[in-house]
Amino acid sequence: MSRVLVTGAGGMLGRVVLEEIPGAVGATRQELDICDERQARAVLARERPHWVVHCAAYTNVDGAEAEPEEALRVNGEGAGIVARAAAEVGAGIVYISSDYVFDGSKGSPYVEDDATGPISAYGRSKLAGEQAVTEANDNHLIVRTSWLFGPYGRNFVDTILTLAREREKLQVVHDQIGCPTYTRHLARAIAQLLEAPARGVHHVAGGGACSWFEFASEAVRLAGVACNVEPCTTEQFPRPAPRPANSVLRATREQTPRLDHWRVGLRAYLAERGWLVTSPDPDTVPPEVATG
């Protein structure tokens, strides 16, 4: 097994990657400021990893619209600094990217070779990170993923279930579609990629696709919460950052691990949190979920 260093080890994905990759060591924000080149080089020289899984990031999508320079500094320049420091010690780097590098106008799922065109400051900062990593370190993996949820940190599922327990009715947008991705499934796929002869861009996201409304409705149903979830449009629920209408990612690379259907991930997450109350009706479960 390769020696792995995880940046952003205190975050939602970083903590799970540490748990899912045996022997991995982590560096939190306090231990490694990714925008400090001297510190990055010192940490990499001390740890001498084979791979860096770069989970440290600016993740506030709406906040990035107010402070685009900071998002670009962290997600773009910071990623380049870590990638260069990794290259100096002979290490490869896994950069965690996003569905937001696409504009969402495509009428079918996005694959690795599709043209990028981010429509938000956050998306532009993640694309800048992809480019910086590619230029700084030949031994790189760009892992694009989407709609993350998992046991650490704030996520959509937790927010919806908190609100659903407080209210009789919720409205959730139905005209944005994507691939909800359970962080444990993603972390295990990253571990597989590190052991495979894989390089370049890979799309690693939950199987299937749904709208935020469908995702919320299923979470509420499986958790047994009595709340009426209703669909609304993006126009009815404006946010500072524009979102791609279509965020569906599909993998075409032979080496890319295929994740279980998003419903499988959701059930696993709710079970992990002790919130799973309702089992799915077999008659309404797609075959890929029933066998997943």
Residue 189 pLDDT exceeds 70: yes
Predicted confidence band of residue 290 (pLDDT cuts 50, 70, 90):
very low
Residue 267 pLDDT exceeds 60: yes
Q: Lowest-confidence range among 122-131, 179-188, 194-203? A: 194-203
pLDDT reported for residue 197:
79
- Exposed e or buried b per residue across 204-218, where buried means at least 16 C-beta atoms within 10 angstroms of its C-beta: bbbbbbbbbbbbbbb
The pLDDT tens digits for 11-52 are: 999 999 999 999 999 999 999 999 999 999 999 999 999 999
Residue 280 pLDDT exceeds 70: no
Residue 192 pLDDT exceeds 60: yes
Task: Tell me which residue of 153, 131, 157, 158 sits closest to 142, measured CA to CA.
Answer: 131
pLDDT reported for residue 292:
41
| Chain position carrying tokens 């029933």 | 290
Where are the chain's structural domains? Answer: 4-153+181-206+247-259
Measure Cα distances from 163 to 7, 156, 159, 271 in Å: 32, 11, 6, 19
pLDDT reported for residue 83:
98
> Do strands 4-7 and 51-54 pair parallel, antiparallel, or not at all (unpaired)?
parallel
Q: What is the mean pLDDT of residues 155-173?
A: 96
The model's pTM: 0.94
pLDDT reported for residue 278:
73
Strand boundaries in the chain, DSSP class E: 4-7, 25-27, 51-54, 92-98, 140-145, 148-149, 169-173, 177-178, 181-182, 200-203, 210-211, 228-232
CA angle 252, 258, 264 (to 5 degrees): 140
CA angle 102, 100, 266 (to 5 degrees): 120
Residue 291 pLDDT exceeds 50: no
Kindly list the catalytic residues. Answer: 122
Q: What is the mean pLDDT of residues 236-246?
A: 93
Predicted confidence band of residue 285 (pLDDT cuts 50, 70, 90):
low
pLDDT reported for residue 288:
53
pLDDT reported for residue 234:
94
Q: What is the mean pLDDT of residues 52-62?
A: 97
Measure Cα distances from 287 to 17, 96, 251, 264, 290 in Å: 29, 30, 20, 12, 5
Look up the CATH superfamily of 4-153+181-206+247-259. NAD(P)-binding Rossmann-like Domain (3.40.50.720)
d(CA 176, CA 156): 14
Q: At what angle do helices 212-222 and 156-166 cross, to 10 degrees?
A: 60
